[in-house]
Structure 1
Amino acid sequence: MMRLSYSTSGRPQCEIGTLAIPLSALVATAILIICIIVVCGVSLLLGSTYIPVDSLLKNQLTEAQNFAVWDVRLPRLLLGALAGWNLAMTGVMLQAISRNPIAEPGLLGLSQGAMLTILIVLILTPNISLSLLPVAAIVGGGGVAFILIALVGKGTKNGIEILLMGIALDTVLSSLNGVLLLYTPPETSYSVTAWLSGSLFQASKESLLSLLPWLLLSLPAAMLIGRSLNRYELGEDMASALGEPIHITRPLILIVAVTMSSVAVSAVGPITFLGILAPHLIGHFCPLSGRVRLWLSGLMGALLVISADLMTRLLSSDTPVPLGLSLIIIGVPMFMMICRLRAHKATHR
C-alpha cells in the first residue's frame, strides 16, 4: 500500500510497504522519463529518411521508412540508452568506493583496458562474433582494476592517490591502443577508429541482442549494492562502524562497476566524462544518495547519450560527428554552469 509520510529530516516521502522513496526522487524520475520519451520520439522521426508522425502512429510506413525505424533508429536508441545508463551508474559506484567526486571509468583506466583487449581480439580474429566482445572487454577492464588495486595498496584511503594512479594507467594504455591501431586489419580500421571516438553507427538488432543480457545486469546489481553505497558515502570508517562488510562489498562493487563499464565500452566505445557529468547533474538538482542516486544518474546518463546521438545524426553531413564529441558539446556547458552555481551559492551563504 502506498502512502505519503515525512522522513526524520522533514522531507516528504512515499512509502511502499517497507520501502521509503523521497518524493523529490519520484518527481525527478518522472521528469527524466518524459524527457527520454520525447527525445526518443524525435529521434525516430528525424534523419535522412523523414518519418511523418501520423504514419508512425498508424503504422503506415513504406519499406524504407520501416527499415529506418525498426532496423536502424530503434536499436541505436536502445543501445545508446543502455550504455549511458551503465556508464553513469558506474561513475556513482567508483566515486563512492574511491571517495573521489571525479572518479569514472575513463579516468581510472578501465575504459582503456577494455579497449586494449578488444583491439587485440580484433587484430587476432577479425571475424569474431559480437557476443564475445563484451567478454574480452570485461577481461581487460578487470585486469586494469586488479593492477590499480595492486599499485595503490589495500590500505590506501586517499581518493586523489587512486585517481592519479588511474590517470597514469589510462595514459599508458591509451598509448598502447594507439600503437595497436596501426596493426589493425584494413577492413576493420575505419570502424575501430570511429568506435574509439564513441559511436553508435554499428548498432543493430544483432548487436543489441548480444549485449542486452550483460547490460540488464545493472538493474538487480544496483538494487543489491545501493544500500552499501549509501554507507560508503559517509566514509569507510563510518561504514565499518555501521556494520558494512567492506572486505566483501568493496570488491563486489568494483566487479559490478568493471562489468558494466566494460560492456558499455564494447557497445559504444570509450565515452569519457559521462560518469562524472550525469551524477553531478543529478546531485545538483536532486541531492540524494544510495539506490536513488544510482537510478537517477542512470536515467540522466541514458538521456544524455540519446540526446548526443540525436545531435550527431542531425549535424552529420559527409563526415559523421563522433558521439563522444556531441556529448561533450552538450554536457560540458551544463557542467560548467552547475559548478558556477555551486560556487556562487557557497560564497553567498
Structure 2
Amino acid sequence: MKSLVIRSPKLGISLRLQRQVPGIFIILTFITVAAMVINTSVGEYPTPPLVVIKTVLGIDTGNPDYAFVINTLRLPRTLTACLVGIALAISGTIMQGLTKNPLADPGIIGVNAGASLAAVSLIVLLPSLPVGVLPLSAFTGALLTSLVIYLLAWDKGTHPIKLILIGVGIASVASAFTSLMVTFGNIYDVSQALVWLAGSVYGRTWEQVFSLLPWIVVFVPLSIMKAPQLNTLNLGDDIAKGLGSRVEWQRSFLLLISAALSGAAIATAGTIGFIGLIAPHIARQLVGANHQGLIPVAGVTGAMIVVISDFIGRTVFAPIELPCGIVTAVIGAPYFVYLLVKSRKSL
C-alpha cells in the first residue's frame, strides 16, 4: 500500500524562507551597523568612519575632540534611532498579526495617537517633570487606548476588523484632543510638543537611550517568546481554541506588548510614522509569515529604516535638518497607498 504524500509549493517556499532567517538577519544587522557608523560620522565636524569605530571601541585616536563629538553628541542620537526603529517595527508586526490585516500598524489603529496625547499633555501641562517620566506616560496612553479599543470591540470575543475600525475612530478623537492641547498651551511648551510630534531623534542624549533601553530589553524578548502563540492566533479563533490556546488572554497580552513598545518609542522620538507598516512587509517578503523569524527580522529592518531616514534628513538639505519622521512619511505614505491598491486587487 502506497503512502500518501502531500506536496505543497507554498509550504516548501515557507520552509525555505525560514531556513534563510539567520543569514538574512545577519546581513540586515551588518547593513544597519554600517548605516549607524556612517550616520555617526557625518555632520558639521566630519569624522572618518574608522575613527568612529575606534572611538566606540575605546581605542585612542589621538584627538580628544573626536571622543566628545562621537560619544556625547552623535552616538546617543544614532542609538536612539536604532532602538526606536526596533520598537516600532516589532509593535507593528504584532499588530498586523493580531488583526490579520497587512495594513494595520499602531499608528493607523489609534495606539500611537493615544501615546501622543498622553506625552503631549505631559509636555504642555507638566513641563518640569524629568524626561524619564515621558516613556511611562506614553506607555500609559498607549495602554489605555488599546484597552478602550479592545473593550469597544468586544462582543463575546473580539474581531480583527472591529479592532481596526474602532481604532481609527479612537485615533481621530485622540488627535483632536492633542490639537486642543497644542492650541491652548504655553508657547514654549507648545513649540517643544510640535517638534516632538514631527518625529525626530535630534538632540537625543544618553538619558533618552537609557530611558528606552529597559523597554526594549523586556518587551522584545517577550514578543519573540510569544511568536508561536501569534502564529496560532493567525489560524483563526476556532482552530486556536482547538489547539488549547487561551485566545483572549494571548491576544490581550500581545496587545500589551505592542502598546508598550510603541508607547516607549513615541515617548522617546515622537510620532515617527509608517515604520510599523513598512518594516513587517519587507521582513515578510524576505523570511515569510512565521513570526518566530519575522519578528526579529522586522525589528532589525525597522532599525535600519529609521537610521537611514535620520541620515537622509541630516544630509540631503544640509545645513537644514529634516526630522526623520518627515522622511519616513514621504517614503511610507506612497507605500501605504501601493499596499492599499494591491490589497484591493487581491479581493
On whether the aligned pair clears a TM of 0.5, the verdict is yes
Overall identity of the aligned pairs, in %: 24
Cα separation, 1, equivalents of 2:35 and 2:330: 17
Cα separation, 2, equivalents of 1:9 and 1:38: 34
8 Å Cα contact 2:201-2:324 kept in structure 1: yes
- The aligned counterpart of 2:287 is 286
Task: Confirm whether residue 92 of structure 1 aligns to residue 93 of structure 2.
Answer: yes
Cα separation, 1, equivalents of 2:86 and 2:202: 18
8 Å Cα contact 2:157-2:248 kept in structure 1: no
C-alpha distance after superposition, 1:160-214 (max 9, x if no partner): 3321211111111111101101233333332221110110013101121122112
- The aligned counterpart of 2:22 is 26
* Structure 2 residue ranges without an equivalent (≥5): 1-9
- Deviating more after overlay: 155-164 vs 179-188: 155-164
- Structure 1 pair 256–104 and aligned structure 2 pair: CA distance change class (3 A): same
- The aligned counterpart of 1:49 is 45
Aligned amino acid, residue 288 of structure 2: P
Cα separation, 1, equivalents of 2:344 and 2:285: 12
- Structure 1 pair 254–61 and aligned structure 2 pair: CA distance change class (3 A): farther
8 Å Cα contact 1:126-1:185 kept in structure 2: no
- The aligned counterpart of 1:200 is 201
- The Cα shift of 1:156 comes to 5.4
- The aligned counterpart of 2:302 is 301
Give the alignment's TM-score, normalised by structure 2: 0.87
Task: Confirm whether residue 166 of structure 1 aligns to residue 167 of structure 2.
Answer: yes
Give the alignment's TM-score, normalised by structure 1: 0.86
* Structure 1 residue ranges without an equivalent (≥5): 1-7, 15-20
Aligned amino acid, residue 307 of structure 2: I
- The aligned counterpart of 1:186 is 187
Matches within 5 A, 1:1-349: 9=11, 22-56=18-52, 57=54, 59-60=60-61, 62-155=63-156, 157-317=158-318, 319-331=320-332
C-alpha distance after superposition, 1:15-59 (max 9, x if no partner): xxxxxx932111210111111011112112111210024544364
- The Cα shift of 1:279 comes to 0.7
Partner SS, residue 184 of structure 2 = coil
- The Cα shift of 1:103 comes to 1.5
- Structure 1 pair 336–63 and aligned structure 2 pair: CA distance change class (3 A): farther
8 Å Cα contact 1:215-1:264 kept in structure 2: no
Cα separation, 1, equivalents of 2:297 and 2:215: 20
Cα separation, 1, equivalents of 2:35 and 2:328: 14
- The Cα shift of 1:61 comes to 5.9
- The Cα shift of 1:291 comes to 1.8
8 Å Cα contact 2:103-2:340 kept in structure 1: no
